[in-house]
Structures are given as structure tokens and as C-alpha cells.
């Protein structure tokens, strides 16, 4: 999967992928690794917490896709049908998210009268 990275690509990964070998593989292709360093690492590489937080959006997307039984079990035999089902599930999920009312902030608590 890391063999076909384009130049100026940012690779987001968790601490389990913090290895010099993996970082070199990513950098040799012109991409930038954004991997949090392990606590026992002597040299701490550059790491953007802001970019790393966006990884959570992708994880939540795949979690929601797995709620569709047909996608989770790879019911379709043909790759084209499977891709179409993923696209339909993605559109349905994004449509439902846009229909959800925004949660209003809680009103401030008024001080209790004695």
C-alpha cells in the first residue's frame, strides 16, 4: 500500500507505524509521514497534531460503512458492484448526517437563589 505514494502526499498513521524503515519508505517516494512518535524514541520527528486529528474523520467514516451488512461482509462478488455499494452507502450516510439538526449549546446555568 505504501509502494504507490505520490509526491507531496501526507501519510497519516498511528504510533504502531512509527518505525525508521516505514518513515524512510514514505520519504523516499516524496511523501511526508505524519506519525506520532513512540514515547521511547530518542529522536522525535516532526508531527502535526492538527493533521493527525483529521485521521479520526476517516476512521469514523469506515466505522459507519461497516454498519451496512452488504459492505461489511463483501456480499458482492464483482469489484464494480462492491464499489457501487460503497458509494451508495457513503451517499446515504452523508445525506443522513446533513439532515441531522445541529446540536444547540446548552444554555448557561443560572445561579440558584438563596
Q: What is the pLDDT of residues 28-51, one digit of tens each?
A: 999 988 888 888 888 888 888 888
Q: Is residue 32 within 8 Å of residue 10, measured between CB atoms?
A: yes
Whole-number pLDDT of residue 21: 92
Whole-number pLDDT of residue 103: 44
Residue (of 93, 23, 13, 91) closest to 54 by Cα position:
13
Q: Mark out the alpha helices in the chain (DSSP H runs).
A: 20-28, 49-65, 69-72, 79-99
Residue 100 in this model has a pLDDT that exceeds 70: no
Q: Which of 19-33, 37-51, 73-87 has the lowest mean pLDDT?
A: 73-87
Residue 113 in this model has a pLDDT that exceeds 70: no
pTM: 0.57
Mean pLDDT calculated for residue range 79-102: 72
Q: Is 7 left (phi over 0), alpha (psi -120 to 50) or beta?
A: beta
The domain ranges of the chain are: 1-47
Residue 83 in this model has a pLDDT that exceeds 60: yes
Spatial separation of the C-alpha atoms in residues 61 and 52, rounded to whole Å: 15
Mean pLDDT calculated for residue range 20-30: 90
Long-range contacts from 13-17, C-beta under 8 angstroms, 24+ separation: 13/55, 14/55
Q: For residue 95, what pLDDT band results from cuts at 50, 70 and 90?
A: low
Amino acid at each position: 500500500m505504501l509502494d504507490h505514494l505520490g509526491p507531496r502526499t501526507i501519510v497519516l498513521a498511528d504510533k504502531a507505524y512509527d518505525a525508521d524503515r516505514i518513515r524512510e519508505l514514505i520519504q523516499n517516494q516524496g511523501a511526508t509521514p505524519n506519525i506520532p512518535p513512540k514515547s521511547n524514541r530518542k529522536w522525535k520527528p516532526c508531527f502535526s497534531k492538527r493533521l493527525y486529528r483529521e485521521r479520526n474523520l476517516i476512521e469514523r467514516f469506515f466505522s459507519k460503512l461497516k454498519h451496512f451488512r452488504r459492505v461489511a461482509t463483501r456480499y458482492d462478488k464483482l469489484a464494480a458492484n462492491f464499489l457501487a455499494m460503497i458509494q451508495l452507502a457513503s451517499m446515504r450516510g452523508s445525506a443522513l448526517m446533513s439532515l441531522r439538526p445541529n446540536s444547540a449549546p446548552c444554555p448557561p446555568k443560572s445561579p440558584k437563589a438563596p
